[in-house]
Amino acid sequence: MKEDQIKGYFAFTDNDLTANRMGKLSDKQNKKLKENDDFAQKFVLGMFLIFLLTGLFIGYRAVTQMNNIGLWVWTVVLLLISGWFFRGVRTTVDNTVLKTQGIVEFVKVEKKTGSPTDPSSSRMTVSSYEMHVAGDVFGNANPALIEHMQGDEYIIYFTKATKQILSVEFVSKGK
């Protein structure tokens, strides 16, 4: 039952695990990662176009009202931001399958919200869990996995760029 629960938490099948053991993505994983990448590309492209068009519109207003320095500043700022988004349009994510093997340790991480310059009364402490395996850290770990995996040895298959866990394989019970 424990193995099925872990498969459910990480949403992988035996076919996914077999492909990951060979250092490859399964067809299902490849499709899902491609869909995520396509969505991200469309989002970044949309943001690029919004900032570019807004910058060009304000730039047009700056040209027609030569004495308004504020419009010139906003034009430059918006065009710089659109250039930053343009870099993201051409970015591809490296979804190479990597693996790590070791004892699974869950670590509770507490962070303060907001900026360090915010008044302490408006900042809150937020808790999350990280999963540590042989020097690799996987953020936003599901605390429900602690009772199933803590202290046991696993092989974790994950993507190189985003460290997204693809599948896990039990090796041995912890001491």
pTM of this prediction? Answer: 0.71
67 domain residue, yes or no: yes
> In which region does residue 31 sit, left (phi positive, over 0), alpha (psi from -120 to 50) or beta (all else)?
alpha
110 and 80 in a common domain: no
Tokens describing residue 138? 């996987």
Under 8 Å between Cβ of 138 and 158: yes
Tokens describing residue 77? 């700022």
122 domain residue, yes or no: yes
Identify the domain containing residue 82 by its residue range.
Answer: 33-89
167 and 112 in a common domain: yes
Domain termination site, one of 56, 89, 122: 89
Query: What gap in Å lies between CA 108 and CA 12, rounded to an integer?
Result: 25
DSSP designation for 124: -
151 domain residue, yes or no: yes
> pLDDT digits over 5-16, tens only?
888 888 899 999
123 domain residue, yes or no: yes
83 and 40 in a common domain: yes
Does position 1 have pLDDT exceeding 60, yes or no? no
Tokens describing residue 94? 């490296």
CA dihedral 94, 95, 96, 99 (to 10 degrees): 120
Does position 107 have pLDDT exceeding 80, yes or no? yes
27 domain residue, yes or no: no
The number of domains in the chain is 2
81 and 127 in a common domain: no
